[in-house]
Amino acid sequence: MRERISIRDTALIACTQAGLVIAGVFWAGFLERGFVAETQPEPQLLLALARHGLLALVIPVLWIALVFCSTHLDSVGIKIAIFYVGLVAAAALALFVVYAVGCGYFALEPGYHLRFLH
């Protein structure tokens, strides 16, 4: 197990978290345009991600703040635990984005998938 967490690793995880949030919001906004309000209900999880998903950017910001606050600690175990919290947060964000967008994608009626191409 590593005893030192580099700034490069921290930045990579934080950028991954932020990138997942931004990609999920764009993807959800793109799929939101495929729904016709009169004929089919819009999935609430997809709407929440499209409209309020950028609020999830608080997660990588808070994690980076936690990492920088822990730099003066002597305990290596706490630093590694904080590092793994960042990895778990990135995995949770990825699962949430895939689930929310997947619910919206599979709720579209057949034929609406091709509407985006025109």
Q: How many C-beta neighbours within 10 Å does residue 108 have?
A: 17
Residue 102 carries which side chain, given as an amino acid letter?
G
Beta carbons of 80 and 1 less than 8 angstroms apart:
yes
Domain limits, the chain: 7-117
Distance CA 26, CA 31 (A): 9
Q: Is the pLDDT of residue 79 over 50?
A: yes
Read off the pLDDT of residues 45-59 as tens digits, 9 standing for 90 and up. Answer: 888 888 999 999 999
Distance CA 20, CA 2 (A): 26
Confidence of residue 117 (pLDDT cuts 50, 70, 90): very low
pLDDT at position 114 is 45
